[in-house]
């Protein structure tokens, strides 16, 4: 008989909210978060209702500013920037280091907010916080030679990022940008993460970091956060549609920019025999339901190896653990060990289900579909944002699953017979961030890998965004502007010698590091 699950003690949204009110009363007010601009937490903006993807229950929503107030916030950030850029490096290092100490002290609360706001399992929520802290510490320790001979930008850095990695992508970038001498502005993602980001920015602001945090619709705020003359650089992480609009704006204005966009990351199988290694990595590729920019939702498989591929793939994908990230058998049990929980919201879940159903109607073959009964849920909880793993063979060209990243736990498999077909299928999205080719022959990998249009290509192993000194970028439509990671992140947000050409994809040149 199945055991009835319960919520782990001390982990409710009400518990997390009360802790936020206690830790940062300046930033959390009654049932809403505040915006931070002009060095003051402001009770402005219209607070929208929001629900947790975990169980559909109410949580704090973003207080959306209007266009005029956003322009005021940007102007105030320029004033902060003009003062901060003259603060000595040792003092900037000390303040950022103190911020990291505060983030470490409140690590578990930040992770719990990520669980409720964007549905991350506990292990992955902690990892998001830890990667932000550890990554910025690396820069604190090594920043001096990176900024030698360089100067902060003329204006603050504007950050617009997706919801999936609020700490290890957005907060990480903001703190490194500030360490390099810039004031920083961030727009909270529309889909989640506002409370986590509010707490992180409150801890940073206490240490004197010149941070601005505002909420609002992209359409309403883009004129201020992208086009305003005060902005020195635009850093964007998100989808291609929104990214294309941002890219047009920054190109027209000649603005420094870093635009990380989606791509269909693929895993190729060609003359391969180490199936145990592949089977071991399959569950890891489903971390956070493949809601990550470096997820691998597409396998391109040599037709004559398809039976062996399935013999490795299917048993591995059947081991995936999905459910409520805080549901335990006894209230004092450890956090459940899950591969993923919900997707970001019920609308995204419906979109994925509809895409799968439409692809099957048009000829795709369902190879694997898990059942909702396989998930770990609380009695009677809302599960509308949960999508069980699905694998489709040969989605038709008319389906979005054929050419675009699903951003959810939906795998597709394409069969090929020649190396030319392999490369064409792996390059289906006009550029990607990462790719992997599994082949027994190193010479074959060395010959084919340069023809795969991804910034990083692994040999039988997944590639990731990377940390510390590892560089990151994209080919084709997956990236525009300066590449980042290691010293390149600092170079992207500082000014060097006259005529300097930054590595990256720009309208008039492409330069690999």
**Directed axis angle between helix 194-206 and helix 107-118, to 10°?**
150
Average pLDDT for residues 384-391, to the nearest whole number? 97
- Is it the case that residue 84 has pLDDT exceeding 50? yes
Burial (0-12, 13-18, 19+ Cβ within 10 Å), 420: exposed
Lookup: tokens for 479: 């990236």
Question: Does an H or E element contain 402, and which?
Answer: helix 400-403
H helices of 106-238, in order, are: 107-118, 122-147, 172-179, 194-206, 218-222
Q: Is the pLDDT of residue 99 over 60?
A: yes
At residue 304, does pLDDT exceed 90? Answer: yes
The percent of residues in the chain predicted with pLDDT above 70, rounded, is 100
Task: Report pLDDT digits (tens) over 161-219.
Answer: 999 999 999 999 999 999 999 999 999 998 999 999 999 999 999 999 999 999 998 88
Query: Does the structure show a pLDDT above 70 at 2?
Result: no
Q: What pLDDT score does 241 carry?
A: 77
Q: Which tokens is 203 given?
A: 């801890």
Average pLDDT over residues 118-128: 98
Per-residue model confidence as pLDDT tens digits over 473-505? 999 989 999 999 999 999 999 999 999 999 999
Give the strands of the sheet with 365-369, arranged side by side. Answer: 365-369, 390-393, 410-416, 298-302, 266-269, 432-438, 454-459
CA-based nearest residue to 231, from 85, 77, 87 = 77
- Between CA 184 and CA 193 the distance in angstroms is 18
3-state secondary structure of 152: strand
Confidence label for 9 from pLDDT (cuts 50, 70 and 90):
very high
> From the centroid of its chain, how far is CA 507?
25
Split at pLDDT 50, 70, 90, the class of 1 is very low
End-to-end CA distance of the chain: 58
Per residue in 239-286, pLDDT tens? 877 777 887 888 778 889 999 998 999 999 999 999 999 999 999 999
Q: What is the pLDDT of residue 442?
A: 97
% of residues, the chain, pLDDT over 90: 90
What the block records as the tokens of 257 is 């920019």
């Amino acid at each position: 008989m199945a055991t009835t699950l319960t919520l782990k003690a001390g982990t409710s949204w009400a518990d997390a909210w009360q802790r936020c009110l206690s830790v940062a009363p300046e930033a959390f007010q009654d049932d809403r978060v505040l915006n931070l601009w002009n060095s003051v937490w402001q009770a402005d903006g219209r607070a929208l209702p929001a629900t947790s993807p975990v169980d559909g229950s109410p949580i704090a929503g973003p207080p959306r500013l209007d266009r005029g107030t956003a322009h005021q916030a940007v102007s105030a950030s320029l004033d902060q920037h003009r003062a901060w850029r003259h603060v000595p490096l040792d003092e900037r290092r000390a303040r950022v280091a103190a911020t990291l100490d505060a983030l470490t002290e409140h690590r578990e609360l930040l992770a719990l907010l990520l669980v409720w706001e964007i549905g991350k399992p506990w292990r992955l929520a902690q990892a998001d916080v830890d990667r932000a802290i550890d990554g910025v510490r690396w820069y604190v320790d090594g920043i001096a030679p990176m900024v030698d001979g360089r100067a902060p930008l003329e204006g603050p850095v504007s950050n617009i990022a997706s919801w999936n990695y609020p700490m290890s992508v957005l907060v990480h970038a903001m703190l490194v940008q500030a360490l390099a001498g810039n004031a920083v502005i961030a727009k909270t993602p529309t889909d989640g993460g506002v409370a986590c980001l509010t707490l992180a920015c409150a801890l940073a602001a206490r240490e004197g970091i010149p941070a601005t945090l505002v909420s609002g619709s992209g359409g309403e705020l883009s004129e201020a956060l992208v086009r305003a003359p005060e902005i020195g650089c635009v850093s964007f992480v998100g989808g291609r549609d929104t990214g294309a609009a941002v890219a047009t704006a920054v190109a027209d204005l000649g603005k420094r920019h870093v635009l990380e966009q989606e791509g269909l990351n693929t895993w190729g199988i060609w003359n391969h025999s180490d199936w145990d290694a592949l089977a071991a990595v399959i569950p890891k590729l489903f971390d956070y339901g493949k809601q990550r920019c470096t997820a691998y939702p597409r396998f391109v498989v040599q037709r004559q190896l398809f039976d062996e591929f399935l013999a490795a793939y299917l048993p591995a994908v059947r081991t995936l653990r999905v459910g409520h990230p805080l549901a335990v058998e006894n209230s004092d049990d450890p956090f459940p060990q899950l591969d993923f929980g919900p997707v970001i919201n019920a609308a995204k879940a419906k979109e994925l289900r509809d895409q799968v159903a439409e692809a099957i109607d048009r000829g795709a073959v369902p190879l694997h579909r898990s059942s909702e009964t396989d998930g770990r849920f609380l009695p009677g909880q809302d599960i509308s944002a949960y999508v069980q793993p699905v694998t489709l063979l040969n989605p038709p060209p008319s389906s979005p699953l054929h050419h675009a990243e699903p951003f959810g736990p939906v795998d597709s498999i394409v069969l090929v017979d020649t190396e030319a077909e392999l490369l064409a299928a792996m390059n289906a999205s006009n550029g990607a961030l990462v790719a992997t080719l599994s082949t027994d022959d190193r010479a074959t990998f060395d010959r084919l890998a340069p023809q795969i249009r991804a910034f990083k290509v692994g040999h039988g192993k997944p590639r990731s965004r990377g940390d510390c000194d590892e560089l990151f970028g994209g080919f084709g439509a997956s990236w525009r502007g300066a590449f980042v990671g290691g010293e390149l992140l600092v170079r992207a947000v500082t000014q060097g010698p006259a005529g300097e050409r930054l590595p990256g994809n720009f309208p008039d040149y492409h330069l690999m590091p």
